[in-house]
Every structure is written in structure tokens, then in C-alpha cells.
Amino acid sequence: MKLSRRALLQTTAAFAVAAGAPEAVSKLAKWLKGHTPRGVPALAADGSTGRLVVLDAVPEAGRPAVARAAGAGHSTAAVAPGAPAAPGAVATHRFVMVIDLARCDGCGACTEACNAFHFVPPGQEWIKVCRLKDSENTAPYWFPRPCMQCDNPPCVTVCPVSATYKREDGIVMQDNDRCIGCRFCIAACPYGARYFNWVEPLHSPEERSATYNIEMQYPHRKGVVEKCVFCPSLVGEGELPACARACPMGAIWFGDEVEDIAANSQGQRMKLSELIRQNGGYRYLEELGTEPRVYYLPPRRRVYPAPPDETAT
Ligand code: SF4
Ligand code: SF4
């Protein structure tokens, strides 16, 4: 029986996971080196250190740059937060999202807009509005959770086929033409921001007739991982991502670290640095070292009533 490259990669990745040993991962690395198409960067684990190394650093024509340490052979985990993607490259944008928890009233318009824009399969919420409560005596609040577009992304470090990678503008992309469905990235992401298509998703006629577009993340298909990618087709044109422009409260700010500017759906503009610093901005689970590109402003002086306490999680 002849196996496709995708099926072979899936089998090999499953073997490595099951074995759970550096030797097995090293075998996977050697196998991948021989089976990755020419011109496509391949990342795999170094059997002696357990860290990811670049096996073939030649970028494919037209493919967005992959963030990596200068020179082949460096671990992707060694890429400095905020560093340009390629040696000598100067990023013209470094996108950042700032979510004001004092403004979010949990309406879910952001999730709906994202679902509609990307034809997100049923059951997935690439931006998920959670109800949080930090301790017994504190008030619950709404917490929209997109992909954090981490500058030190564990999902990228573990992907054995470079299906997920970091662009120089800060966006962590997901290429489902390359994904083999091993789901290492889902296990690695501490934010629960990734989803796996266990079944063939329902397709609208418009989605089905489209050619796969990595920036739109559709048409969707069974057996691959998907996630929020900060709407690169919109932000590249200077527009807000679908979630931010749909938020009736102006709770989702989107900005550029290079130009130090942020805007929201209510037409407000601020210096990004001031928005974060003057409002006590923080990053979720910052202590993990993931260097998220999403900041949160604390839910104080709210402009809406607190969510019901009994349903808080
Ligand atoms: S939030 Fe998860 S999926 Fe997004 S970049 Fe970070 S680790 Fe990767
Ligand atoms: S993106 Fe995730 S599921 Fe796809 S190949 Fe990489 S690790 Fe596996």
C-alpha cells in the first residue's frame, strides 16, 4: 500500500509521541530531513538536547518569513521576543491587540464576526469570550481569548513540519497545506487557542468554492488544526481585525508597536504604549515566558454591570 507524505508524517509523529524518548524524536528529525519538500523550512528536535533546530532554512518563494534565530541550527525557542524574523530584516509592523476588560460586556459580537469572516467550523471559537473570577471574594468579568500570537510560541517550537510559524509582523500563522494533524501544537498551547477538525466541517457554498487561503484559513478540512491569525488580510490593509471592528463597546483595540498606535471600533486612537501603561495593562500567563502579543486592561471602573456570579468559572 502506498502512503501519502501526509500519512507518513502522521504515522511517524504518532510514533515519536508514543515512544516519548529523545531517540524517537531524533529518528523523526532524520526522517523529516529526508522527506520535507525542497525549499520548505523544516524544524525538528535535536535528539541530544530535545530542542528544535532548523534543518533546511531556505524559504519557499512567496512564503512569509519564518521567525528564527540568525543562522541555521539555532533553536526556534531562542528567537528573542520582538526580534525581526530574518537576519537583517526590519519589520514595518509589529501587531498588538489590547483588550479592555472594563468595556467587555460579554455580548459575543467578536466571536460571531470572526466566525462569519473565516467560516469558522461549528463548535470552534477562535476568539472565545470566557467568564472569569479570580478568587472567591472578587467580582467575575468577561475575558475574550484570541490566539495570543506569542513571541515565544510553544506551538511553533513543537510543530514537526513548520505548519505553524511566526511572521515578522508578529502573527503566528497556521498553514493547513502543511499540517499533518499530529496535534502537538494543541498540547503545547497554554491558552487553549487551537482547534482540531475531527470531522469534515460543514461548508457554505462560498467557502467550498474558494481556493485555500492561508490568511483566511479556509476552505476548512478534516484532520488539521486551526486558530485565530489576527486577520492578516484586513490588518495588512490598515483595517481592524474582524473581532475588533465588530465590538460594539470598543473593547478590542488593535495596534502597531512600530508606529506606537492603537485604534478601536469607536474611532478612538491612542498611543499604544500609553494605552497599556496608563491603564495597568498586563499579559495573560506572562510568567510562562510565551511573550504574548495580546495585552489586557483590568476590569475596573466598568461601563456595564458585572456578570452573574453564580455562573462564574
Ligand atoms: S496562544 Fe497558543 S496558538 Fe497562539 S501563539 Fe501562543 S502558543 Fe501558539
Ligand atoms: S500545526 Fe499542530 S497539528 Fe499541524 S502538524 Fe504542526 S503540530 Fe501537528
Span of 206-210, 229-233, 288-292 with lowest mean pLDDT: 206-210
In which band, very low, low, confident or very high, does the pLDDT at 52 lie, cut at 50, 70 and 90? very low
Query: Best of 52, 174, 178, 184 to mutate for ligand 2, by most ligand atoms within 8 A of CB?
Result: 184
* Distance from the alpha carbon of residue 195 to the mean position of ligand 1, in angstroms: 11
Quick count: other Cβ atoms within 10 Å of Cβ 153? 27
Task: Give per-residue pLDDT as tens, 256-274.
Answer: 999 999 999 999 999 999 9
- pLDDT(279) > 90: yes
- The rounded distance, in Å, linking the Cα atoms of 190 and 180 is 21
- The rounded distance, in Å, linking the Cα atoms of 203 and 208 is 6
- pLDDT(206) > 50: yes
Q: Which atom of ligand 2 is nearest to the CA of 162?
A: 6
Task: Give per-residue pLDDT as tens, 113-123.
Answer: 999 999 999 99
Pick the ligand that lies closest to the CA of residue 176: 2
Which residues, other chains included, contact 14 with Cβ-Cβ below 8 Å and sequence gap of 6+? 182
Task: Give per-residue pLDDT as tens, 19-33.
Answer: 444 443 443 344 334
* Distance from the alpha carbon of residue 35 to the mean position of ligand 2, in angstroms: 16
Cβ–Cβ under 8 Å, residues 152 and 52: no
pTM of the model: 0.74
* Distance from the alpha carbon of residue 1 to the mean position of ligand 2, in angstroms: 25
Nearest-10 Cα torsion for 193, 199, 204, 205: 130
Q: DSSP H helical segments within the chain, as ranges?
A: 5-19, 22-35, 109-118, 154-158, 184-188, 205-208, 232-235, 242-246, 272-278
- pLDDT(80) > 50: no
Per-residue burial over 214-231, b = 16 or more CB atoms within 10 Å of its CB, e = otherwise: bbbbbbbbeebbbbbbbb
Pick the ligand that lies closest to the CA of residue 126: 1
- The rounded distance, in Å, linking the Cα atoms of 6 and 155 is 19
Query: Best of 149, 189, 229, 291 to mutate for ligand 1, by most ligand atoms within 8 A of CB?
Result: 189
The two most distant CA atoms of the chain are separated, in Å, by: 65
- The rounded distance, in Å, linking the Cα atoms of 168 and 288 is 22
In which band, very low, low, confident or very high, does the pLDDT at 109 lie, cut at 50, 70 and 90? very high
Q: Is the CB of 191 under 6 A from ligand 1?
A: yes
Classify residue 65 by burial, with Cβ atoms within 10 Å: 0-12, 13-18, 19+: middle
pLDDT at residue number 210 = 87
Question: What is the torsional sign of CA 234, 191, 110, 122?
Answer: positive
Average pLDDT, the chain: 78
Q: Is the CB of 164 under 6 A from ligand 2?
A: yes
Pick the ligand that lies closest to the CA of residue 293: 1
- Nearest one of 241, 239, 218, 240 to 231, comparing CA atoms: 241
Task: Give per-residue pLDDT as tens, 122-168.
Answer: 999 999 999 999 999 889 999 999 999 999 999 999 999 999 999 99
